[in-house]
Structure 1
Amino acid sequence: MSIPAASNSEKAPQKDNYQPPSCLSSLPDDVVLNCLSRVPRCDDLNISCVSKTLRSLVRSPELCLLRSHLPKKSVYLFYHSHQEPNRCHWITLRPGEKITTTYDYQVEVEHRSCSLSDLLNPPYLSTFSSSAVSVGSEIYFPQGCFSPSTNLWVLDTRSGAIRMGPSMKVARWAHKEAMGVVDGKIYVIGGSVEKCQVEVFDPKSQTWEFAGEDKVKHESRFSASLEDKIYMVELYPERISAYSPREGISIEVTERLTDQMNCMCVVENVIYACFKRSGLMWFDTKLKVWRRLVDSNGKVTLYSLIAEKMGEFEGKLAVFWTRSINTDGVVKKDIRCRMIALDRVGEEIRGKIVRSGIVASFAYPITLSHCLAVSD
């Protein structure tokens, strides 16, 4: 059976001149700009391909101004000094004045520390790579590094004061438990000797409760919060699982990771990780696979040496590592950083190194321990 040809009056629009209709096209520009200001920056390239109008709005100074008024997050990079074990040290990177580095670094770097000598059983926050999360301007650390503990420490980044928070119900190992934030509440998963229930902490009421009745035995190397799930890198076997307050724990990737993961973080609703051999990668939550972060040409996989910590800074991926330099017999240790701008191009995410340089230098050994994005 043949299909009748369309008449000249019924011909489909020419492909070259046809633009798909958009629900945004009927809205005023100020409304569209308000919507675009809340879209991750890595999607700007895809949005600009939709229409000429959206392309001009994405590139407009008005959108930059709107985004500048959104709540800002600074990077808090914690480190441990063997010379001062009773102090908690951190470096804050926030938008500010220019400092001299290899490239232009439009950030303000602030060094701060607080004494732990007056606290009972100091948490030694920077000694181990335990879990830590931020809610608003506060950072929450578990204590169980040397042995399982119910202690929770809270750092107020505005005042620089640290205090002990309400105790958890179950003692857990801080370097084996997973922590994440969903709807402003902190969830703690696994990390105990025996099977235990997931606990949830409400910062507003300052109370702990069990989340559900199921008991699990779970050990994690890294964890990260994304939307309504907490993604975890399991220790044995090393694979990706996720916890949802509604659905419980599910296995996201059944195959065991064959490459060692050094660190993991979330930047604008995408999980990124640095692997020892594969370099920088991102996790496709739809297909449940790891994809390589490639350069702006889409050809070369981005490597950032052996990244020790990563975090989000102004929509960019901030990668940190340390490097020792011997000058005339004096060993100096630098903390180095690369800022990587991200663009989503079709099914790929591409990165471009836009800033690079030394954040801080020390005349004594240090170890990086935590990297968190915190609301000012």
Structure 2
Amino acid sequence: MSSATSPSTAGDSDAPPPLLIPSLPNDVALQCLARTPRSHHPTLSLVSKSWRSILKSPLLFTTRSLLSCTQHFLYLNIRINSSFRWFTLSQKPPNPIILSQVPPIPSQAIGSAFAVLGPKIYVMGGSVNDIPSRNVWVFNCCINQWEIGPKMRVGREFAAAGVVDGRIYVMGGCLVDTWAKSTNWAEVFDPVVGRWATVVSPVEVREKWMHASAVVGGKVFAMADRGGVVFNPKWRLGRIRGFDVEKDTWKEVKGIDEGLPKFLCGATMANVGGRLVVVWEGKGNGKEMEVSCAEIDVRKDGDGGLSGSIIWSYVILSVPIVSSIVHCLAVGL
């Protein structure tokens, strides 16, 4: 009998995958692992190669989402001297705060735009030697790894970005001094097809610089030089304030003045699992700058206004005095 038909080798390719947990079907074992908090995943990954592989897979991310086991984590981007550092807040009060550094981005320009799509952070454009870049870097939070993404159609710096219906919209950050820049002032990235496409935009909304942006109620709100822009994805002009989705109006969040400093610059915020998380720069000791963070519960009060209460507020990091907060984002994993 030839070795090609030997009983010891025939049919090896059809062998069933190894069981993740003995005596349990793999689909049941996957649900057990998906219900485990992510803080335990580093320990679980030491059990076996199959566990290590499944804990980093998109299948686990999807299963956790379907089981409503998703946990939200804050990712913080800080510029220290001439480099950009990324951190994640993986544990918060009442537990001890744990701020971990994640792998450095291979190349980040000044004035990049940011968006979160699923378990991935997209860092788009920015200025390289005063030239707006088309580059896109993607960080897969499941496996803590950066990869290069599809380039945008035009270079951008200080653009606005947001995710609506599973697609990334990016706008502005470029002078409309050429046909290509005018036509592609706004673009959309569809992860299914993996490329950028033009979004038609009226002339009156084509601001160059976008200072901040957020997605509320399926609309991208962007703060521009002359007020603001709202992408519906139909366009209209607007101004940026605290937003009440149901009444479609901007309001001030009351009740948190005494617990937080008066922010002039160096502050950013994100919606982390339904709570407002604010990160800001403090004075420190003269040689180092303190980075503080607060979690705020925002709710409607009796007269239809917005009120907030501070859940916790702490210094989470000390960095050299010349540092600055760039951005923070929430990622559900």
Displacement, 1:113?
3.2
Contact 1:223 1:233 in 2 (8 A): yes
**Partner amino acid, structure 2, of 1:89:** R
Displacement, 1:288?
5.5
Displacement, 1:252?
2.8
Instruction: Tell me which residue corresponds to 1:190.
Output: 172
Paired residues for 1:305-324 under 5 Å: 305-306=262-263, 308-324=267-283
* Pair 214,340 (structure 1): closer, same or farther in 2 beyond 3 Å: closer
* Pair 112,232 (structure 1): closer, same or farther in 2 beyond 3 Å: same
Paired residues for 1:104-143 under 5 Å: 104=94, 107-114=97-104, 116=106, 122-124=107-109, 127-128=110-111, 130-143=112-125
- 1:207-237 Cα offsets, whole Å, 9 max, x none, are 11123475662232111112321111121x1
Instruction: Tell me which residue corresponds to 2:328.
Output: 371
Contact 2:113 2:125 in 1 (8 A): no
Residue of structure 1 aligned with 2:152, choices 141, 159, 168: 168
Instruction: Tell me which residue corresponds to 1:63.
Output: none
Paired residues for 1:324-363 under 5 Å: 324-326=283-285, 331-346=287-302, 347-362=304-319
Instruction: Tell me which residue corresponds to 2:51.
Output: none
Inter-partner Cα distance in structure 1 for 2:142 and 2:259 = 35
Displacement, 1:70?
4.3
* Pair 305,70 (structure 1): closer, same or farther in 2 beyond 3 Å: farther
* Pair 158,364 (structure 1): closer, same or farther in 2 beyond 3 Å: farther
Residue of structure 2 aligned with 1:231, choices 221, 233, 237: 221
Inter-partner Cα distance in structure 2 for 1:244 and 1:364 = 40
Residue of structure 1 aligned with 2:238, choices 249, 252, 264: 252
Contact 1:75 1:374 in 2 (8 A): yes
Instruction: Tell me which residue corresponds to 1:274.
Output: none
Displacement, 1:205?
2.2
Q: Secondary structure at the match of 1:94?
A: strand
Aligned length: 254
Instruction: Tell me which residue corresponds to 1:91.
Output: 87
Inter-partner Cα distance in structure 1 for 2:132 and 2:90 = 35
**Partner amino acid, structure 2, of 1:250:** R
Question: What is the aligned-residue RMSD (CA, Å)?
Answer: 2.7
Q: Secondary structure at the match of 2:287?
A: strand
- 1:17-42 Cα offsets, whole Å, 9 max, x none, are xxxxxxxxxxxxxxxxxxxxxxxxxx
Inter-partner Cα distance in structure 1 for 2:315 and 2:258 = 23
Contact 2:80 2:320 in 1 (8 A): no
Paired residues for 1:174-323 under 5 Å: 174-175=157-158, 177-194=159-176, 195-197=182-184, 198-212=186-200, 217-219=206-208, 220-235=210-225, 237=226, 239-245=227-233, 247=234, 249-253=235-239, 282-285=242-245, 289-295=249-255, 303-306=260-263, 308-323=267-282
TM-score after normalising by structure 1: 0.60
State which drifts further: 310-319 or 206-215.
Answer: 206-215
Contact 2:103 2:145 in 1 (8 A): no
2:140 is the counterpart of 1:156: yes
Contact 1:182 1:227 in 2 (8 A): no
* Pair 217,196 (structure 1): closer, same or farther in 2 beyond 3 Å: farther
Inter-partner Cα distance in structure 2 for 1:108 and 1:325 = 20
TM-score after normalising by structure 2: 0.67
Inter-partner Cα distance in structure 1 for 2:314 and 2:260 = 16
Q: Which structure 2 segments of 5+ residues have no match? A: 1-66, 177-181
The percentage of counterpart residues that share the same residue type is 25
* Pair 114,289 (structure 1): closer, same or farther in 2 beyond 3 Å: same
Displacement, 1:342?
1.7
Inter-partner Cα distance in structure 1 for 2:76 and 2:214 = 16
